[in-house]
Amino acid sequence: MTPHQTMRRIWKMRHAYAFIAPFYLLFLVFGAFPLVWSFILTFNEWDGLRPMKAVGLRNYALLLRDQRFLDAIGNTAVYWAANVVFILALSLLMASLLNDRRLGGRHAYRLVLFLPNVTATVAVGLVFRMVFDYNSGLINGILEALRLPVLPWLNSTGLSKVPVMVLSIWRDTPWYMLIMISGLQTISPELYQAATVDGAGRLQKLLHVTLPGLSPVLFFCFIALTIDSFRIFTEPYILTGGGPGSSSLSIVQYLYESGFTAFKLGYASSIAYVLTLILLVVSAAQVIAFRNRGSVVEEKTA
Amino acid sequence: MTHTRARVSSLISIASVFLVLCVGTVSGQSASSKPYKAPPGKMVIWAFGQPQFLQMQLDDYFARNPAEVEGVTAEVVATSGEEEVRQKTMLAVASGTLNDLADVISTFPVSMQAMSEAGVLLDVTAYLQPFKDKFVPGAYDQAYYKGRLWALPRSLRPQLLFYNKEIFDRYGIDPKEMATFEGYLSVGRKLKSASNGQVFLSYEDPASRTWRYWGRRGLLPQAGANIWGDDGSVVIDKDPGALKALHFFESLHKEGLLLNSGILQPPLYEATRQGKVATFYIGAFYDEFLKANDKDMEGKWRVMSAPVFKGLNLGGAPVVDIVAITNKPNAPYAELYKRIWYDYNFNSPARQAYTLAVLAKNGPVQNPLSRAMLDEPFWKQPDPYYGGQSFKQMEGLGLRNVSLNMRVTTADAETDTLISAELEKFVANAQTMDQAIANMGQVLRDKIGTAPANPDKK
Amino acid sequence: MNARGGASRAVTHVVLIAWCVLSVFPLLWMIGTSIKPVTEAIGGLGSMIPRSPSAANYARVAGLLPLARNTLNSFIVAVSGTIITVFLCSLAGFAFAKYSFPGRDALFLFLLATMLIPPEAGIVPTFLIMKRLGWINTYWALIVPRAATAIGIFYMRQYIASFPTEIMEQARIDGCSELRIYGRLVLPVVLPALAAWATIAFIARWNDFMWPLLLMRSKDMYTLMVSISILPVSEGLSTPWPVIMAGTTIAVAPLICVYVIMQRYQVSGLTLGAVKG
């Protein structure tokens, strides 16, 4: 389009710009400044009280050699993988079971199943800490009753990630289930009926009706889950404090530790930017993967 | 004529001397001359660790001194810990107006040092120096930085040894054996064999508290250890005291004498209640936790001074609770807070009444810092929780032979995390103590390099 | 066919019930612990049922915190925040989904990109901005910055993408303004999404404690979660867990009410498919 045509198009669609404007305005005021400020901070050393000291790229160089940071990246990747596998599968399963309009007690089920997400993570974190306790926890109590060996869930370097994963899956599945349910509702029942008429079994309905229809929402879930998983903080913080050693430490936990326990704010900022970079790469991969399914860029527009 | 003039002049000189003496004496005391009135407004205090009792103390002072505080309210803002106070301070400073700062803040030495360098705190050296000898030794130690005093001590709690007398009676072990660490270890062995492994000498925390309570505040100071040399270099992996302390902990762990359970958490309180844990080598503050969470164990516990390393004879290092006055423009409530602090430390009847009120609410009671007050019978009263033993008195004794806290540097917040990480791996049996010690040295050199040199080297 | 349907129905119920038990179990523990007296055992198999239940812990929490005021703060922030964000996000999501305008894809990808930045990094500068605006210790600081969130817009866009465009065309020919099309046509149909997102947004704002902790100065401006989260974390504090559990149970109760209310709207009477017909 010529510039003139573009201008006319913009004017014609001014309502669209008006609708999306609030977000960008808010971002300009509350988002842009922190972004730039913390980026500049990554090239400095600052403890919050004494004057800043410019150190160039030293924070990034240190990060690359920082074993604790590398451990945190590894741990967080494990959390992400576990989340993607279990949460998406479980939430889809639960959502499809609950979407059946003939199922008795649907609303009661939906209420109860959503409860994990309603309570504050801090509270359930404490409960899970009790449950996984080595000496008097429920899990070990059951294992003992079954004559199985008890395991050091929270106090060994090998197993410390497990309670964190269990808590995060337990707590987040309902959230995604809710999103999936709303997505399933956009699929017309006629499509299912047509499929039945064509002789399709459950699996085929799933693959050819449900998944394609759910595609936009699925894309949302993938991205949201990735971002959420990489940003995991409260679960490991409450359950294990990141330890023993650094065996369950997450990236954001390390960010918080560097910034607000060790008061190395420049270093913390660089952790944030490296995290952003990681997320960018992973999300970009997902956008490309989903692009082929046509759910990112919409064809039907007015 | 000369005679009269001489008499007059001598009268005048006597009078003036007398006047000077009067004025001099009067201005040396806090509250006896011209009545003090604090400027009307709100005095804000940022505190942590059961600040509702601090509020009680302020309210009590205000009630007793209405003329001084007319038009003034005091608000204690509860925060989740020292880090949060530091964050709030940092934000106030960063936004450029010191007016946003609280008037008074609870803090720790590591932050106090940084804050003093940033000009955020009021220098209280001149005010505090006169009282030094009236206090127990060590009261001021952690408030010194670069030769000046930056905070007012509020309490000093020594390291003590809590033991479950019932367990010792049952197995016929004499608690006095625990006067030395060598004896402590052998008591642990005896308990283990006599009870078939059911009873543990003590606990070990799988997270950061092992380093905090066993290491930094316990074994290391008592062994005369150092993390940093005076020039700021890393010495923890070579310092004989540090090695001695850490290897001692290693033997406790390797012989299976410690129950792996997080301290200050319910599972350990339960194990304690079930008689699985015989002793706690920890600061006096643990008294309040025992009473709150193992209330039903009243009468079973006793307390004694911390064990010592044979030949070194250094008692435990005390945990100091310090409160700093911020350097706000005009510091409006500095004077008021100093008075409140003075009253808390030297006004015996008021202190006793306040203590009783706190006890009635199951709150923490702090031993007085002033030696004169410590000697009063009120602080030697028997405590039913300890079977009639006076906890306060034992705590007072614990303050008599203290070792110095290890030097705190501004790099210490990060240092503690790094050292603890290695110790945690040891406790989780993921590495040996020798590996842990070597790693500590290496990690500290890698990430911190050198700490600031000791500005207060004696 | 009926026998197979019956069997698969039974399996469905078993699975759902099993998952319900797992979901609810920790919460029951939380409530059970909150009514136990402080000295009763919390751990171990035998502690499932409280032996001498009492409401003492709740009284204690009420005594330690200005509960009423904190709850009010939480409500104000959560309710207004939710209403505003659902409205603005759905509007923007609608625009991205249903309009084609120059720069749309680039703007949308930019929006997605902003989701990647961890907010923890921006604590100090955000504080400075709030200071400049004079919003420290006010409700504005908590409501305005998240009035339109990227993730909300993202969700709404994905959901509204399935709305049939032809109907909009028809309405436009009939002379409806865009806003009316949005309000009269689209909104009723996407109500389930709005209800779902409103629930999520409300819960997120209610449970949030990082920002209120940072931006509120005085006890009576704290939200409920902040007050409660101060209970266990403080260094010298010896609040026993049953008391903390009582606090968190109190904090959860309003959320469950909100969820129950919202659930009605999540039932879609009209699927988009039905609209088509």
Most confident of A194-203, B117-126, C238-247: B117-126
Chain B contact set for C240 (CB, 8 A): 266, 292-293
Residue C177 C-alpha from the chain's centroid: 32
* Complex ipTM more than 0.95, yes or no: no
Residue type at position C180: R
What residue segments make up the domains of chain B, in order of their start?
Answer: 41-156+319-375, 159-317+388-447
Is residue A87 within 8 Å of residue A172, measured between CB atoms?
yes
Domain regions of chain A by residue span:
67-291
Please provide the average confidence, as pLDDT, over all residues in chain C. Answer: 80
Average pLDDT, chain A: 87
Q: Please check the confidence at residue B24 and state whether its pLDDT lies above 60.
A: no
Please tell me which of the candidates B414, B418, B428 has its beta carbon nearest to residue A155: B428
- Helix, strand, coil percent content, chain B, rounded in steps of 5: 50, 15, 35
* Chain B interface, best mutation among A53, A127, A159, A263, by max B CB count within 10 A: A263
Q: Which chain A residues are Cβ-neighbours of B94 within 8 angstroms? A: 48
DSSP H helical segments within chain C, as ranges? 2-34, 56-64, 67-98, 104-114, 123-133, 140-143, 150-160, 165-173, 178-180, 187-189, 191-207, 210-215, 224-233, 241-266, 272-276
pLDDT digits (tens, 9 = 90+) for C245-264: 888 888 888 888 888 888 77
C56-276 adopts what CATH topology?
MetI-like fold (1.10.3720)
pLDDT tens-digit series, residues B285-330: 888 888 878 888 999 999 999 999 998 888 888 888 899 999 988 8
> How confident is the model at residue A298, as a pLDDT?
41
Residue B279 three-state SS: strand
pTM: 0.87
pLDDT of residue B454: 86
Give the single-character DSSP code of A204: H
CB contact under 8 A, B266 and C230: no
pLDDT at C190 over 90: no
Minimum-distance CB partner of B270 among C42, C127, C217: C42
Show residues of chain B in contact with A247, CB under 8 Å: 428
List B residues 212-271 in contact with C (Cβ-Cβ < 8 A).
264, 266-267, 270
By DSSP bridging, strand B159-164 and strand B301-305 are antiparallel
* Mean pLDDT of the B144-172 span: 92
| Confidence bin at C39 (pLDDT 50/70/90) | low
Give the per-residue pLDDT at A293. Answer: 57
Q: CA nearest A202 in C: which residue?
A: C8
Angle in degrees, CA A194, A200, A202, rounded to 5 = 110
Higher pLDDT, B362 or A221: A221
Query: What residues of C are in contact with residue A92 (Cβ under 8 Å)?
Result: none
User: Rounded to an integer, what is the distance from CA B358 to the centroid of its chain?
Assistant: 19
- Residue A97 pLDDT more than 60? yes
The answer to whether the beta carbons of residues A9 and A17 sit under 8 Å apart is no
Read off the DSSP letter of residue B406.
P
Residue A256 in contact with partner chain B when CB distance is under 8 A: no
Question: What's the count of helices (H) and strands (E) in chain B, helices before strands?
Answer: 18, 12
Q: Return the pLDDT at C208.
A: 85
Residues above pLDDT 70, as percent of chain B:
92
Say whether pLDDT at C171 is over 50: yes
8 Å CB contact of A243 and B208:
yes
Q: How far is B404 from chain A (nearest CA, A)?
A: 24
CA-CA distance, B117 to B452, in Å (whole number)?
Answer: 13
Res. A191 pLDDT band, cuts 50 70 90 = confident
> So what's the pLDDT on residue B399?
78
> Architecture of domain B159-317+388-447 in CATH?
3-Layer(aba) Sandwich (3.40)
Report whether pLDDT(B21) > 90: no
Highest mean pLDDT among A199-213, B140-154, C155-169: B140-154
Residue recorded with tokens 């004079």: C134
Out of B75-89, B343-357, C234-248, least confident range: C234-248
Q: Is the dihedral of CA A188, A189, A193, A199 positive or negative?
A: positive
Minimum CA–CA partner of C237 in chain B: B49
Q: Each residue of B91-102: b (16+ CB within 10 Å) or e?
A: bbbbbeebebbb
> C234–B82: do the CB atoms touch at under 8 Å?
no
Judging by DSSP bridges, how do beta strands B258-260 and B148-149 pair with one another?
Answer: unpaired
Arithmetic mean of pLDDT, C79-105:
91
Q: Tokens standing for C4?
A: 């197979």
Q: What is the pLDDT of residues A55-64, one digit of tens each?
A: 989 999 999 9
What residue spans define the domains of chain C? 1-54, 56-276
Residue B147's φ and ψ, nearest 5 degrees, are 80, -5
Q: Which of B43, B91, B272, B289 to mutate to probe the C interface, most C CBs <10 Å?
A: B91
Domain B41-156+319-375 classification at class level: alpha beta
User: Is A50 in contact with B114 (Cβ distance < 8 A)?
Assistant: yes
pLDDT at B383: 86
Q: Which residue of A has its CA nearest to B98?
A: A49
Query: How large is the average pLDDT for residues C143-169?
Result: 87
Residue B126 neighbours by CB distance under 10 Å = 9
DSSP alpha helices (H): ranges in B29-108? 51-64, 82-94
C-alpha pair distances (Å), C221 with each of A162, C82, C226, C236: 38, 19, 10, 24
**Are the beta carbons of A260 and B430 separated by less than 8 Å?**
no
CA A105, A108, A114, A115 dihedral sign is: negative
Residue C238 pLDDT > 80: no
Reported confidence tier of residue C269, pLDDT bands at 50, 70, 90: very low
Residue B240 preceded by cis peptide, ω within 30: no
Edge-first strand order for the sheet with B301-305 is: B279-283, B159-164, B301-305
- Give the span between the Cα atoms of A42 and B194, in whole angstroms: 59
**Residue B16: per-residue pLDDT:** 47
For residue B153, the model assigns a pLDDT of 93
> Which helix (H) or strand (E) is A279 found in, with range?
helix A265-291
The percentage of residues in chain B with a pLDDT greater than 90, rounded to a whole number, is 52
Average pLDDT in the C113-136 region?
A: 84
Would an 8 Å CB–CB cutoff place B395 in contact with chain C? Answer: no
pLDDT of B8? 54
CA C41 to chain centre: 33
Residue C77 Cα, gap to closest chain A Cα (Å)? 17
- The predicted pLDDT at position C239 comes to 65
Whole-number average pLDDT of chain B: 87
Identify whether the C-beta of residue B104 lies closer than 8 Å to the C-beta of residue B89: no
Q: Quick count: other Cβ atoms within 10 Å of Cβ B67?
A: 8
Residues A112-126: tens digit of each pLDDT: 898 898 887 877 888
With a pLDDT cut of 70, the percent of chain A lying above it is: 96
Chain A within 8 Å of B210 (Cβ-Cβ)?
no
pLDDT of residue C43: 61
**pLDDT at position C275 over 60:** no
Query: CB–CB of A217/A210 below 8 Å?
Result: no
pLDDT at C70: 87
Residue type present at position C250: I
CATH number of A67-291: 1.10.3720.10
Beta carbons of B296 and B273 less than 8 angstroms apart:
yes
Residues 120-149, chain A, touching B (beta carbon < 8 A): 129-130, 133-137
